[in-house]
Structure 1
Amino acid sequence: MSDTPWYRDDRLLYGVGIEDTFIPQEKPGHRKLDEYELTQHYARWREDLELVAESGAEFLRWGVPWYLVEPRPGEFDWSWTDQVAARMRELGIRCVVDLMHYGTPLWLENSFLNASYPERVASYGRAVAERYRDVWTDYTPLNEPVVNAEWCGQNGSWPPYLTGQDGFVKMVLQLARGMVRTQQEIAAVHPGATFVHVDAGFLFDGDTSPLPRDLLEERRFVALDLITGRVGGESPIRPYLEEHGVTDADLEWFRENAVTPDVVGVNYYPHFSTGQVDDGVWTPVDAGTRGLRALLEAYADRYDAPIIVTETSLVGTPAEKIAWLRDSAAELGAMRAEGRDIVGYTWFPFFTMVDWLYRFDQTTPDDWFMEFGLVDLRRGGDQGLERVRNEAFDVFHELARGARG
């Protein structure tokens, strides 16, 4: 077996991802949001994995539902994940495991704000790595920390329902501590593990408010800068963090416990990753491949690490998806030809997802279907969700197989 990391195969690797947001907490006006439940992945996971294998994808971003796997503190139920992991091994699917793709167990009081959160999530991550070390070697400690901090800490939409810049900073500090401790604990039991840290890339077009544009440009990197120990005395983000309670001791802890991603994952959606903020309201601006290139260059220059596009797709017709597939893949090819260390491309989500706004409504999941995928979901008379490939599936297969030579 080669000692060369899988992402150093000297070509662009193609993968897909299954949307795995889990927000189990409910309250009046806020219902449970579990994408696996809403898309029937819990019941149809075998078919879903077979479709992944048939697509030609060389890796899969897939998440563990923490709130179900650890229903009580320190007690684990592996009955479902054991089956999924075994089938992934049979199919030869490399899984980049999303350990935390939003949402905490119901028993964790105040969710991410709980004082024990960093150790709780690290303990869970260690347990997963110990149990599946023979099949899973690649981990994302936490997906999109800045988006997580916005929804949970700035906008008050998800637990623990904090608001404002003070809430954002409190959340991002907790999330970053959890990311560090999770990587440390996994590395302790699986020294050969690969860590793919995934951030949501945002580009800001025009003037912004209530925060100035230069601060927003820095804030998008805040979690990765914290976990890698980059926030020091001269950091432009430091005054903002200190204004909202971050201390010298906090920053020193991150510097002393700095972790390094093996790969930096960047998520980019052409229809809404670029936009203008006005009074806290985000207005999307379609930036196409121009935005994709600008974002990847920003992360590559800042972190000097291999870059994977860990999410990209769009809601549209199959023809529109095919156009984006070809255009975005060609842009990555051009960047690689220029010497940029771009190593992977992920179509995410692989099939239809349910809009997060479903949580705040009382209509059916079907009313909130978003057709991002290479595979569409169609409700049958038995209420089952049939998996139907669209034309973009074949084009993805063509690109993935072509990349293998």
Structure 2
Amino acid sequence: MDRWYDDGRLRYGVGIEDTFIPQIRPGHRKLDEYELTQHYTHWREDLDLVAESGAEFVRWGVPWYLVEPEPGVFDWSWTDQVAEHLSALGVRCIVDLMHYGTPTWLENSFLNAQYPERVAAYGRAVAERYRGVWTDYTPLNEPIVNAEWCGEMGKWPPYLTGVDGFLTVTKALAKGMVRTQQEIAAADPDAVFVHVDAGFRYEGETTPLPRALLEERRFLALDLITGRVDDAHPLRSWLGENGYTDADLAWFADNAVTPDVLGVNYYPAFTTIRMDDDGTKSPVQAGTSGLRDLVQLYSERYRLPIVITETSLVGTPDEKIAWLHESEQEVEVLRADGIPIVGYTWFPFLDLVDWLYRFDDKPVDDWMLDFGLVNLVRGGDQQLARSKNAAFDVYQEIARRHR
């Protein structure tokens, strides 16, 4: 096994936004970030820019709905080219297998009784296809965000709502994560697993769920897959009251998997949430103090090497540069304090399209968010030109310094 995360170094990487929600319905457009940002067209240029930035790794996602257009039928024509080019560039790929969406043929999405085995079979197929080329896998990105959008807010398939919807989707996602890791490990015993979580933080009182519950709920998927939810778990009674049986929890305990690396996502402007008096959520600017708090929480709970798998902000190049310097310094302080942070990821590397695009009919450019070290600028030919901003150069200097 290539245990790159054990050598004590801090590696810098980037990620390309890869949300895929291919299902459409009245008022809900298809959301494929690769399509909207023209990554399918400009992928080679994008990956060349990744290498130019000095990044040692890239979080890059496989579009499951396109790679497996029919159950058990795979089309590797594009991913073969990407894998070959990344290898030629010498950039490690942390393969993002599931970034929210399922193929359109999977009826009822995560509610489908076959979901855990379908996603596991897909993960195994990827690992078998690219064994010796790709070694690092994220079975599913941000399970709690996924459960919120698909199971609590009813925004994405299977469009469930409330506590029951959230917990139903979370259980399905967690089973899929376990089975995917098991199948990939069987196909490639040298595989490295980088599980990625969105670490929410809360300020003040929350409703309808109390803050104490939310602060435990954010860890639920990771606690399930690692077999931590036993009778002493803080959420045990709540889960039982909402349909989690002893058999459910015994399955997770019997099939527990452990990540090699834990990915923690943190955005200084919206990872921290305050609930307003009317029940709406408002983001809170928490800066490096929020980053420190979150990383310490995950480190103390799971005792695993950590990669900051997403961080960035929407703003001017000067604001991005300021966050690059502030977050770099905080990461170094955390490492000096003994927390094993082994990677830092600016995500997204390119600008992205706001997820709210899905629920509107305005042009895509109206929803473009300036997150990137590389901006997307539409020309008269309707192509999105790639334009490095000043933060790109600063990131490049930092990344090269850490090699």
Please indicate the TM-score interval, normalised by the length of the shorter structure. Answer: over 0.9
Alpha-carbon RMSD: 0.8
The one-letter amino acid of 1:147's match is: V
Aligned to 2:370: 371
Q: Which residue of 1 aligns with 2:257?
A: 259
* Matches of 1:326 and 1:17, distance apart in 2: 19
Q: Which amino acid aligns with 1:22?
A: F
For the residues of structure 2 that align with 1:274 and 1:34, how far apart are their CA atoms? Answer: 26
**C-alpha separation in 1, matches of 2:132 and 2:13:** 21
Mapped pair 1:248 → 2:246: yes
Per-residue deviation, 1:277: 2.8
Deviation for aligned residue 1:4: 5.8
Q: For 2:207, which of 202, 209, 234 is the aligned residue?
A: 209
What's the counterpart of residue 60 of structure 1?
A: 58
Structure 1 runs (4+) deviating above 6 angstroms are none
Separation in structure 2 between the aligned mates of residue 193 and residue 281 of structure 1, nearest angstrom: 42
Report if aligned partners of 2:21, 2:102 keep a CA contact under 8 Å in 1.
yes
Distance 1:225 1:241 in 2: 13
Contact 2:268–2:288, Cα closer than 8 Å, also in 1: yes
Residue of structure 1 in register with 2:126 after alignment: 128
Q: 1:224 aligns to what SS in structure 2?
A: helix
- 5+ residue gaps, structure 1, are none
Gapped regions of structure 2 (runs ≥ 5)? none
SS of residue in 2 equivalent to 1:174: helix
Q: Does 1:87 align with 2:89?
A: no
Deviations 1:4-58 (A, max 9, x none): 6112232211000000000000000001000000000001000000000000000
CA offsets 1:82-120 (integer angstroms, 9 cap, x no match)? 111111111111000000001000000000110100000
Q: Distance in 2 between matches of 1:237 and 1:97?
A: 31
TM-score normalized by structure 2?
Answer: 0.99
In 2, Cα distance between equivalents of 1:197 and 1:277? 28
Name the CA distance, whole Å, in 2 between partners of 1:93 and 1:186.
21
Q: Aligned ranges for residues 171-190 of structure 1 at < 5 Å?
A: 171-190=169-188
Aligned residues: 402
Q: What are the Cα deviations for residues 232-266 of structure 1, in whole angstroms up to 9, with x where unaligned?
A: 00111111211211100000000000000000000
Distance 1:277 1:127 in 2: 43
Provide the residue aligned with 1:277 in structure 2: 275
| Counterparts of residues 373-392 of structure 1 (less than 5 Å) | 373-392=372-391
Q: Per the alignment, in what secondary structure is the counterpart of residue 51 of structure 2?
A: helix
Structure 2 residue identity aligned to 1:228: T
TM-score in terms of structure 1 length: 0.98
Q: Given that residues 2 and 190 in structure 2 are in contact (C-alpha distance below 8 angstroms), is that contact kept between their aligned partners in structure 1?
A: no
The alignment partner of 1:344 has SS state of strand
What does the per-residue CA deviation read over 1:253-302, in whole Å, with 9 as the maximum and x for residues that have no partner?
A: 00000000000000000000001134653210100000000000000000
Pick aligned residue for 1:144 from 142, 154, 173: 142
Aligned to 1:153: 151
Which residue number in structure 2 is paired with residue 321 of structure 1? 320
Secondary structure of 2:402's partner? helix
3-state SS of 1:57 partner: coil
The answer for the alignment partner of 1:287 in structure 2 is 286
Pick aligned residue for 2:24 from 23, 26, 31: 26
Match of residue 166 from structure 2: 168
Q: Which amino acid aligns with 2:256?
A: A
CA–CA distance in structure 2, aligned partners of residues 361 and 9 of structure 1: 47
Moved more, 4-13 or 114-123: 4-13
Do the aligned partners of 2:28 and 2:360 also contact (CA within 8 Å) in 1?
yes
Q: Distance in 1 between matches of 2:158 and 2:224?
A: 22
What is the rounded CA distance, in whole Å, between the counterparts of 2:150 and 2:283 in structure 1? 21
- Give the structure 2 partner of residue 17 of structure 1: 15
